[in-house]
Structure 1
């Protein structure tokens, strides 16, 4: 199972990087909502990693300097892979969400949430790119694996 999650994190990192590149190449035609969503996508993975690792999380909607997004994406990937190597996927972790409510989930559930959440928001970004006349990325997992 850990190998499959590692593959999904590689897919996530790859298409986050590609999305950052498309946004960068078209920055003059990019609306604020796209910038907000790419930041949120990266921030959320950082937040889930931080919950597992007991580190300080980003704010979920903070806007980071654009030039730091690739670095954040790469660090997120490294930390997620580190979690896969160092934690039992069935281990339960107690954490507080961004509103302060306490929850408990397994490491697997938390990591899968980070992957699934990224996919969801890349789809939103693609829709906005298309609406703004920018060619969206083909980010389907199956095409990544071909």
Structure 2
């Protein structure tokens, strides 16, 4: 199970990088919403990692300079893999959401949420890119594995 999760985080990292590359190259053509969504995607993964590790986290809608996004993406990958390798995936973690509500989920559930959330927002970003006449990235997992 751990190796499959690592593979999914590498997939997430790979396509986040591709999206960041396209946005960087077409920065003058993309909407603010596109920039906001890629920042949110990266911040949300960092937030889930931080909840698991009980560390300080980013603001979930914070905007970073485009030049910092790949560094954040790489750091997220490294941190997520570290969590996978060194955690009991069935351990329950108590945390608070951004509204201060308390929840409890397993490490696996929280990690899978980070992966799934990234996939969802990359789809939104691709739709926004296409609306602007920018070629979207094929980000399906099966393309990554081919």
Q: Which residue of 2 aligns with 1:96?
A: 96
Confirm or deny that 1:118 pairs with 2:118: yes
Q: Which residue of 1 aligns with 2:8?
A: 8
Confirm or deny that 1:82 pairs with 2:82: yes
Residue correspondence of structure 1 range 1-146 to structure 2 within 5 A: 1-146=1-146
| Structure-2-length-normalised TM-score | 0.99
Aligned equivalents of 1:64 and 1:56: distance in 2? Answer: 17
Q: How many residues align?
A: 146
2:28 aligned counterpart, secondary structure = helix
Aligned equivalents of 2:95 and 2:132: distance in 1? Answer: 38
Quote the offset at 1:64 in angstroms. Answer: 1.1
1:59 aligned counterpart, secondary structure = coil
Listed one character per residue, the Cα deviations across residues 72-100 of structure 1 (whole Å, up to 9, x for unaligned) are 00000000000011100000000000110
Aligned equivalents of 1:73 and 1:124: distance in 2? Answer: 18
Q: For structure 1, which runs of at least 5 residues remain unmatched after alignment?
A: none
Aligned equivalents of 1:102 and 1:57: distance in 2? Answer: 16
